[in-house]
Amino acid sequence: MIDIGCDDIIDKNVNVELLTFALILSISSTCLCRGLVEDTSGGFNVLDYGAVGDGQTDDSQAFSKAWTALCQTKGTPQLIVPSGKKFLLMPVMFQGPCQSNSVQVQILGTMLAPNSMDGWRNCSTNCWLRFSGVSNLNVSGSGTIDGRGSTWWNHLRLNHIFALQFNHCNNLQLSGLTHLNSPKNHISLTACNGASLSYLHISAPASSPNTDGIDISSSTNINIHDSDIATGDDCIAINGNSAHINITGINCGPGHGISVGSLGRNGAHETVEYVYVQHCNFTQTQNGARIKTWPGGSGYARYIYFQHIQLQQASNPIIIDQFYCDYFCIMRQSSAVKVSNVTYMDIKGTSGNQQGIIFNCDQEVCTNIIMDHINIRSSNGGNVSATCKNVKGQSSCTTPEVPCLSSNNINDDCDNQKRNIFAPTNYLH
């Protein structure tokens, strides 16, 4: 038997047939000296790398080994988390880039976070499961990601742990999974360009603090659709330096609604633009369609559209709050994030309190606010109020009437609810 390695020196006298065979063998399989493997197995099952899946044994190393093998593989490799198992994981980093241009992760079983704070000691990135620098990543399945975050909810000053984070993961797809009880944000997108999140089920108690469903920062071209989100904070939060966000078909509640911001904390310059929210339901939420900025910040939130929204006992259904603040905040500041070109259209249903519309803006910075075919009433059958400060814009067919806005009800068909927003041509890239 002749062993031919990558660094073997082939003697000139080796016969032609043997040399030809060696060349064919080297072409059909990747050279092991370069650390690359062609995926012919159909997947990298974590059980094959030592995972137990009994919910008590730490399977972190097995997941890391399976990922390392996958990431060195060409083709379209797939990491498999099999059904019928519960995998206890300490904080795990899934680092890219990988050799393949397309990586798949199929989650069919349950992934469990540590059940005590001691299990998070090696969490240097403030997240439990982190994918970083992996382009064309597809994470899907019918499994569950359980953050078991209740231990953290009573320790707010220590709580900075995200359950699942995607950092610099361009052309991401995430679908089908159930996300439970994160210590803080359930899903975080940071510096991602191009992502589709769909058919997700995200759940945490209404009393759980800071448990955003999906948190977006410094990301562009994000599409989120057809998902159920019930948490103790924002169902979806769009944070600074994000643009071209399309949100469709979200059932939100309980929670704090779908929010742009908060923006401008600690004097930061932050921008958000071209956000399109449509065909969403807010049920027993603390807020509905919300924009929130801190005093003293700078930047802008502009070209934001909320359309075809159903409300069911949703408190503060429409709100712009430019004085979003905690006890560390100084209310009197010389600057503010500018809010402009915000359109609300075909929003109807019931409010959980007496405040249907709140526009609380800093001086001269909320401009071109448009309201069209808004009908909000109290869940107990009474009327609701609209309050506004420092707002410029127009309203038509809006109940309750917004006193700061110019009314344009003349010749309008206020019974026609089939209205559509036509976003600017450069909205979708």
Residues labelled catalytic: 233, 256
How many other CB atoms are there within 10 angstroms of residue 50's CB atom? 13
Which of helix, strand or coil describes residue 58? strand
Contacts of 52 (CB under 8 A, 6+ apart): 59, 62
Structural tokens at position 209 = 């603090």
| Calpha distance 82→90 (Å, rounded) | 18
How many Cα atoms sit within 13 Å of 178 on the Cβ side?
Answer: 13
Residue type, 129: L
- 227 and 202 Cβ atoms separated by less than 8 Å: yes
Structural tokens at position 61 = 């190393």
Structural tokens at position 416 = 């026609």
Contacts of 93 (CB under 8 A, 6+ apart): 125, 130, 132
| Calpha distance 336→322 (Å, rounded) | 8
Instruction: List for the chain the helix, strand, coil content (%; round to 5).
Output: 10, 45, 45
